[in-house]
A and B are shown apart, each in its own frame.
Chain A
Amino acid sequence: MEEMRFDASADELGVWLAEADELLQLLDEDVVRLEQEGGVPELLQEIFRAAHTLKGSSASIGHRRMAELTHLMESLLDLLRKGRRQVETAIIDVLLECLDALRVLRQEVAESRRRDFDLSPLISRLQQVIEVFPASETVDGAASVCPGTTAKDEAAAFQAEGKEVFHVAADVDRGSLMPAVRGMQLLVELGEVGQVIWSRPTSAQIENEDVGNHFEVVIASWEGKARLESILAGIPELVSWKITPYFPPEAFPAVGEASTPVPLVDERREDQGPQKVGLKEDRRVVNLGPGARGKSPEEMLRLAGRKLSTTVRIDVARLDNLMNLVGELVIDRTRLNQLTSQLGEKYGDSNLLEDLAQVSLHLERITNELQNEVMKSRLLPMENVFSRFPRLVRDLAQKAGKQVNLVIEGQETELDRSVIEEIGDPLVHLLRNAVDHGIETVEARLAAGKPEVGTVRLGARHEENQIVITVEDDGRGIDPQKVKSAAVEKGLISRESADRLGERECLDLIFLAGLSTAQKVSEVSGRGVGMDVVRTNIERLNGSISLDTALGRGTKFTIRLPLTLAIVQALLVSVSGQIFALPVLSVTEILPIRMPEVKMVNQRPAVQLRGEVLPLLHLDEALGMSGDGQPARVRKYAVCVRYGGRPVGLVVDGLVGEQEIVIKPLNSLFADAVGVSGVTILGDGRVAPIVDAASLVKAYTEERLSLGLASA
C-alpha cells in the first residue's frame, strides 16, 4: 500500500476525521430517510449541505479522490433538490454506495495509506445517473450565473426587485487550521439566505485553498442584516466581521465566479425569530483569539437543530479520569461516614463531633451531586447507536428480498457511553435475526393476512434505574417445539430432558451456543453463534435479556441494562473470611439456609424454594477460595441470581451490607480470574473482588446446570 500525505498536522487530521465521521453518519441517516420520505426540500438541503461540507474539507486536506467523489455526489444531489430528478431506488443505491466508498477513503486518511480501491466504476455509475438528465448546470454555479452579467448590474437588478444588497467583510482567526473551510462555510451559509453576487476570494480559489484570512462577499438577501449577522456569528473561528449596505460603485470588480446554491426553505429560519435581533446588533466582536468566540444560547440552539453536534468535545480519557476521581471521592465519603460513627461510639456526644458529622453530611451531599453530574456528562443518547440501524435494516431487507419498516422509539434516552459502546453489537444481532428469521417474505405475509410490509420496532426507555431496550418484530414468531427439536438434533440436550421442558424453557434454549433454527444459513445470520453471544455480552454489562413470542404474530426481545458501568449498587457478602461484592441488579432475592437442608439433586446441591428446586453454587468452591479456618457454618445465605432466566443460589457465609461501589479493573496478571469482573475499594480501605455471577455460574456449571434444571 502506498503511503499518503495530507496537508494537515496530526491534530488537524484528528479534527478532520471527527468531522468527517459526523457528516458521513448524518448522510447515512438522511439518505435512508430520503428513500422513505421522498424528496422533502429541507432534507435534500441538509444532505446537500453535508456533502458540500465534506467536499470542502476533503479538498482542504488535499484528498483528491474524496473531493472528486463528493463533487459528483453534490452534482447529483443538486439535481434532486432542484427537482430535476426524482428520488428513486437507483439513486438511493448509488448514493449509499458513495457513502461506503467515502468511508474507505476516510480510512485512508486515518491510516495515511492509500487503499487498493478502485473508484472508477462508481464514478462512471454516478456520471451515468447524473447524465440521464443532461445537466446544463454544475453545482459550483459558475455557469448558472448568467455569464456576461457584471456584479454591478446584478446588484442593481436585485435592488430594483426590492432586495437588500450587502457587502460582508469577515476575518478568520489567524490561528485557524482551515481558513478555506471557514470561507466555504461563509459562502454556503450566506448562500442559503440570499444570492451571492461576488466574492473575494472566489469560490474556486477557496476550493483550491488559495486564501488568506480575509473574505469579502457581496450578497443580495431576502433576509435582513440581523439574519446575516447571526449566520456569521454561527461560523466558527470568525473573529470579526462587518456588514454594510452595498451600493454599486463605479468601478466594481467584474464577476469572477459566484457561488449560487439555490436557496430553499430553511427550517432553521423559523426558530431564529426576530426577537433575537437586538441581541445580535449589540454584539461587538473583537479579536479575542481562538476559543473565545462565545456563542449565545440562541445560536447554540440553532446549531443543535442542525444535528451536527456542536457542544464541547471532551477526550473520552478525560471523562473516564473524572469518573475515577469521583469514584475516589465516593470511597472517601463512605470512609468518612464510618469514621464519624466510630468516633461517636467512642467519645459520645461532643460539639466537635457534631460539627464533624455535619461537615461529613454536607460533603456527602456534594459528592452525591458531583457524582450525578459527572455521570450525566458521560451519558449519550441512544441515537448514537440507533442511527446506523435504518441503513442496516434497509440493506438486510433488500438482501433478503423482504419489505421491512424500522420504527425507532426513544432514541433520546440517555445511557452511559461505556454501555453504549457495548450494546451496539448485540442489537445488530437482534435486528438481523428479526429481519432474517422473524419477518416473512411478502408472499408469506400476504398469505397469512398480514400487511405486506413487516415492522421491526426498536425502542428504548428508562425504568427506575435501568434502561429497557426492546426489539420487536411482527413476523412469524418462534415455535418452541422447533427450537426444542433443533436443540436435540444438534445434541445440545438429550431427548429425555427435552421432553420435560416447558414452553418457556424451550424458548430459552435459543440462547444456547450452537443453536440456529433458520432453515438455511444466510450471509449475516443463522450461523448459530448469535444469541448466546448476545446474552453473554449483555450479562457482562450486568444486564439481562428475555423474550416473548407468539406464533404467527411476532417476537419481542427485552434487554435491561444498568445506567452506568463505573458505579453500581452492590451487595457485600463474606466468603472464606473475605468480602466480595455482587452487583445488586443481578440479585433477585436472598434467603437464609441451613446447611443440613441442602440436598443433592443430580449430584448438585440444591434446596427447596416455594415447592421448586433451587440449584446452589458454593461461592467459595466456585471461586477456588480455601476456608478461613473457622468451623463449618450451619447457617449460611443463598444469594439468588438469574442465570439463563432461571434462579441459582450462590451460597455465602454472611451478609455484610449494601452500598455503592466503584468498579476498578483488575490487572492483567489476573487474566484468568473467571467470575471476577473487577475489584472495588471499601469504606475501610479494604479491597473487595466483584463477583460476575453470570460468567461464574456459566464457567462452573453450565453443562450440568442446564441438565439439572431440565429435570427439575
Chain B
Amino acid sequence: MATATDTQVQEEQLVVFELGHEVYGVDISRVHEIIRLAQITRVPRAPDFVEGVINLRGRVIPVIDLKKRFGLSTDSHSKTSRIVVVDVDDNTIGMIVDGVSEVLRLPVGAVEPPSPLVVTVDSDYVRGIAKLEERLIILLDLDKILSRQQRSRLDEFANDAGEQTGSVA
C-alpha cells in the first residue's frame, strides 16, 4: 500500500484500460495479471455489480463489472474485454474492463486532483486526473472502489441480521 506514495515522488507506473469511451489507470503494483474473459459462475443473490466468481488456477475470486459499478452503460462484453486481477484490501478480485491498452509511466506532475465538481459522494474512487498528450486518464483509488459499496452491503447485512436474529443466530 505504501509503495504507491513512494513512487509518486517522481513517477508512477499505470496499467491503462478503457471503459466505454473513457480511459482509466490503476497503479501497476496492485495489478496481478490481466486475463481473458473466462467462464464466470453467477452467485445467487450477489450485489448487482458483481458478475460472479472465476477459477484462477485453483483460487476462486470474485469478478466485478466496473462499468456497472460506475453506472456506465452496461452493454455486453466484447472480444477485447479483459479481466484485470487486482489486490484490494486483503482480497484479490477481478475487474471486467473493455480493453487494456498499455502500461504508462507518468510524471507525478501530470496528475491533478479531481475537480470538486466531478467528485460526488459516490465517486471518491477517483484519485486524480492525468493529462498526457491530449489524453485524459482517470486514476482510480482501488481501495475505494469496493469499500463504499462493501460498507453499505455490510450495513445492510447487519440490518438484515438484526431483523432475523432468531434465525441467523
Contact = CB atoms under 8 A, between A and B. Distances in A.
A-B complex is real = yes
B60 A529 contact: no
Given A673-B46, A679-B53, A686-B55, A667 B61 contact: yes
B41 A669 contact: no
B41 A672 contact: no
Interface in A329-363: 331
A666 B55 CA distance: 12
Question: Which of A513, A623, A670, A675 has its CB near the most chain B CB atoms (within 10 A)?
Answer: A670
A685 B54 CA distance: 9
A673 B45 contact: yes
A533 B93 CA distance: 34
A669 B48 CA distance: 11
A179 B67 CA distance: 64
B78 to A, nearest CB: 20
Interface in B28-57: 39, 41-47, 50, 52-55
A674 B45 contact: yes
B58 A331 contact: yes
Interface in A642-701: 664, 666-676, 679, 681, 685-689, 698-699
Contacts of A536: 167, 169
A623 B41 CA distance: 13
A699 B161 CA distance: 12
A669 B146 CA distance: 9
B62 A670 contact: yes
A673 B157 CA distance: 10
Given A672-B156, A686-B39, A687-B55, A529 B169 contact: yes
B159 to A, nearest CB: 10
Contacts of A533: 169
A681 B45 contact: no
A687 B41 contact: yes
Contact of B45 (A532, A624, A686): A624
Chain A interface mostly: mixed
Contacts of B166: 513-514, 529, 532
A163 B121 CA distance: 88
A250 to B, nearest CB: 72
Contact of B41 (A529, A688, A698): A688
Contacts, number: 89
A205 B146 CA distance: 60
B160 interface: yes
A625 B167 contact: no
A619 to B, nearest CB: 9
A578 B53 CA distance: 12
B44 A676 contact: yes
B47 A669 contact: yes
A578 B41 CA distance: 7
A12 interface: no
Contacts of A623: 44-45
Nearest to A696: B44
A331 B57 CA distance: 11
A689 B169 CA distance: 23
B153 A666 contact: no
A669 B44 contact: no
A42 interface: no
Contact of B43 (A529, A664, A676, A702): A676
Question: Which of A578, A667, A686, A702 has its CB near the most chain B CB atoms (within 10 A)?
Answer: A667
B91 interface: yes
A685 B59 CA distance: 11
Contacts of A664: 60
B150 interface: yes
B157 A624 contact: no
B154 interface: yes
Contacts of B146: 669
Which 7 pairs of residues, A with B, have the shortest CB-CB distance?
Answer: A623-B44, A687-B41, A513-B166, A667-B62, A673-B45, A328-B58, A671-B157
13 contacts: A331-B58, A623-B44, A623-B45, A625-B42, A669-B47, A669-B91, A670-B50, A670-B62, A672-B153, A672-B157, A681-B58, A687-B52, A688-B41
Interface of A: 328, 331, 513-514, 529, 532-533, 536, 578, 623-625, 664, 666-676, 679, 681, 685-689, 698-699, 702
